[in-house]
């Protein structure tokens, strides 16, 4: 899944021959998972039809402040469009449109939307060679970038005039890649590798029965999604769960038993920068596993259990530069037990849950946590959705990493 997934992308189209490429550009944004709307300059309609773009984007295309054919229609608000957008991409950006953008000229809906936008603005120049090299165009480039706008460089090639040189708008695939890389490069965990364990483990009794727990994996999956959205390359080692996550930066490694999770965690640990063990790993497993289904012949069944390998403690014992985070689910003397686990397992941060807190723990969509660091600083949080809890945890991790 692209970093653009779930984002509101507003594509602004000005009147250049390169506008024909915007049909492909819209399709690529939609394929990346973005919600796409299109605003066109009035003259650009002569280069690509609104019908094509509205069909591909699945949203109405606008090019004027109001519908001249329907006086009762609601006007197209540039303010609402500017506030809706997470990203504004102007492609093609002609010399005329860029000059107006640089000088604050506001004579159509596209320019009014640009002036109202609160989001990052990207622009992809497109024009003929001589126009591209004109000093006024160079000044527009400098002015727009000084405003904080991001220029997607034009390429060299055959132009509509037949000349060969600079001024060709970047290809749609390159525009999307440029934006994705730019976003990722500005994210705080870009270039970092994060390993997260999630869900329960199942310890076999026989071929059809197992010892398990009520962990749903929701917290671990929310942590993985948050880490990826912060730019990290994420390895999510998950026990059996109904949770799902599709993200281009998340690799899911399915496991079943505590031994499986131990093996996979040690496989990825060395190359990880941040490790969060959120899985509910079984503490015990049957000493012997029956090869055939155990028949219900007796009124009682006795199982001999033995300890599983402690995944978190084993990682703490070999930790070098990794920032290691553990979870503690407690029912009594919560703070004391969590502090002890923090020191005993050589952690950098521990996330305390209490089953005494309503809405916290297994299966719920919410969680109530307390964070404790190596200096025993305690930060308590109110009951929140697990998605927001994941953000709180990563905010603390980032604060610690940058301290």
Give the active site residues: 213
* Alpha-carbon span 343 to 373, nearest angstrom: 10
* Alpha-carbon span 136 to 132, nearest angstrom: 9
Nearest to 370 by CA among 345, 403, 343, 342: 342
Buried b (16+ CB within 10 A) or exposed e, 261-286: bbebbeebbeebbbbbbbbbbbeebb
What is the dihedral sign for C-alpha 130, 136, 138, 140? Answer: negative
Nearest to 143 by CA among 111, 101, 93: 101
DSSP run (H or E) holding 123: strand 121-125
Nearest to 54 by CA among 67, 70, 32, 37: 37
Please tell me what DSSP assigns to residue 202: -
The tokens 């066109």 sit on which residue? 40
Nearest to 258 by CA among 218, 310, 210, 219: 310
* Alpha-carbon span 353 to 360, nearest angstrom: 7
Nearest to 353 by CA among 373, 380, 388, 375: 380
Say if CB 76 and CB 47 are below 8 A apart. no
- For the chain, the residue count is 403
Nearest to 222 by CA among 1, 338, 402, 394: 394
> What is the secondary structure of 64-93 as a DSSP string?
SSS-TT-TTSPP--HHHHHHH-SEEEEEEE
C-beta contacts of 330-335 below 8 A and 24+ residues apart: 330/354, 330/355, 331/355, 331/356, 334/370, 335/370, 335/372, 335/378
* Alpha-carbon span 94 to 134, nearest angstrom: 13
């Amino acid at each position: 899944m692209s970093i653009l997934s779930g984002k509101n992308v507003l594509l602004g189209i000005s009147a250049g021959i390169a506008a024909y490429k915007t049909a492909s550009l819209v399709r690529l944004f939609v394929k990346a998972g973005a919600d796409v709307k299109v605003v066109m300059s009035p003259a650009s309609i002569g280069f690509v039809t609104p019908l094509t773009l509205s069909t591909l984007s699945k949203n109405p295309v606008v090019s004027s402040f109001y519908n001249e054919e329907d006086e009762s229609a609601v006007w197209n608000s540039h303010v609402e469009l500017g506030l809706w957008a997470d990203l504004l991409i102007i492609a093609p950006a002609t010399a005329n449109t860029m000059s107006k953008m640089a000088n604050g000229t506001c004579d159509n809906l596209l320019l009014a939307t640009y002036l109202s936008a609160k989001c990052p603005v990207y622009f992809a120049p497109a024009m003929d060679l001589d126009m591209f090299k004109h000093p006024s165009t160079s000044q527009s480039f400098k002015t727009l970038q000084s405003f904080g706008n991001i220029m997607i460089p034009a390429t060299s090639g055959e132009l509509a005039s037949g000349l060969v040189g600079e001024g060709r708008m970047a290809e749609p695939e390159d525009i999307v890649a440029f934006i994705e890389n730019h976003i990722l490069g500005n994210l705080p965990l870009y270039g970092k590798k994060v390993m997260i364990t999630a869900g329960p483990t199942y310890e076999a009794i026989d071929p059809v029965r197992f010892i398990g727990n009520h962990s749903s994996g929701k917290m671990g999956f929310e942590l993985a999604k948050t880490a990826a959205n912060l730019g990290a390359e994420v390895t999510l080692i998950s026990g059996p769960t109904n949770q799902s996550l599709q993200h281009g930066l998340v690799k899911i490694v399915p496991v079943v038993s505590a031994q499986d999770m131990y093996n996979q965690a040690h496989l990825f640990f060395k190359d990880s920068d941040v490790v969060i063990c959120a899985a509910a790993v079984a503490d015990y497993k049957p000493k012997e596993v029956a090869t055939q289904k155990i028949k219900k012949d007796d009124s009682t069944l006795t199982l001999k259990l033995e300890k599983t390998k402690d995944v978190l403690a084993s990682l703490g014992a070999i930790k070098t530069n990794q920032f290691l985070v553990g979870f503690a689910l407690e029912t009594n003397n919560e703070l004391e037990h969590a502090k002890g686990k923090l020191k005993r397992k050589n952690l950098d941060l521990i996330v305390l849950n209490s089953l005494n807190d309503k809405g916290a723990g297994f299966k719920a969509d919410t969680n109530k946590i307390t964070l404790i660091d190596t200096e025993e600083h305690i930060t308590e949080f109110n009951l929140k959705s697990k998605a927001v809890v994941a953000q709180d945890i990563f905010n603390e991790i980032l604060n610690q990493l940058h301290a």
